[in-house]
Structure formats: C-alpha cells, structure tokens
C-alpha cells in the first residue's frame, strides 16, 4: 500500500486524503496538505509531532513553527512548504514525501501519485 487518493504519500498502516503525507500508524481525514508523525491525527492543513493532535492550520510537537498551514523544525512529522513534510529526514516539494523515517513513513512516495519502489505497490 503506497498511494491513496490525490497526491498522497503514505507509510505503513496509514490512511490519507488529498495532498497528505503520513507516517506509521497514523490517520488523516480529507484534509489538504497535512503531514503527521507517529500515532498522530490531524485535521486540515496541519502538521503535528509525535502523539499529538491538532486542529486547522496548527503546528505542534518538538521544535515546530507555524507557516502556511505547515510547520518546520526538528520535530517528528513536521512540515514545510505546501503540503510537504520535512524536519527529521523527511520530505520536500509539493504534496510529496521522500526518504526513510520521515513523516511519510518508511521510504514512501516522491511526487504526486508516484510511489517509491520500497513502498510496495
């Protein structure tokens, strides 16, 4: 399981909506441009850290800062840019996610509806 919905990048056991990037064991709704870490739940345009839950346009967790519906910093599952995830070995770009151990999980997608080979089918 790799890509679900529109411009999504997911990890293991995750469910995403449009333009979202999630980590392991996370779940997001139909929110756009969301990025979550481990065991988190987000709403619309949010970025969260580990074990956190945020509302709309918020940023929480370790070393996060609020941008345009995003967050940046060293916190787990933090985001920067438009619907992207960055921070601890995470992603960069528009609605995309790259590299292992990032907010998208274990080596997931790069680009819109593009799956990394290590992400499975």
Cβ contacts of 46-50, under 8 Å, gap ≥ 24 = 46/71, 47/71, 47/77, 47/78, 47/79, 47/85, 47/103, 48/77, 49/75, 49/76, 49/77, 49/78, 50/75, 50/76, 50/77
pLDDT in tens, 36-45: 555 555 555 5
Q: What is the pTM of this model?
A: 0.27
Confidence of residue 54 (pLDDT cuts 50, 70, 90): low
Radius of gyration of the chain measured on its C-alpha atoms: 11
Confidence of residue 87 (pLDDT cuts 50, 70, 90): very low
């Amino acid at each position: 399981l790799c890509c679900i919905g529109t411009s999504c990048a997911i990890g293991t056991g995750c469910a995403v909506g449009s333009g979202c990037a999630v980590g392991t064991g996370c779940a997001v709704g139909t929110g756009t441009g969301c990025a979550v870490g481990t065991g988190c739940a987000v709403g619309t345009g949010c970025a969260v850290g580990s074990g956190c839950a945020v509302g709309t346009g918020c940023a929480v967790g370790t070393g996060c800062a609020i941008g345009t519906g995003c967050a940046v910093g060293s916190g787990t599952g933090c985001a920067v840019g438009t619907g992207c995830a960055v921070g601890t070995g995470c992603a960069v770009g528009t609605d995309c996610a790259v590299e292992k151990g990032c907010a998208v999980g274990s080596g997931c997608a790069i680009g819109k509806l593009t799956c990394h080979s290590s992400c499975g089918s």
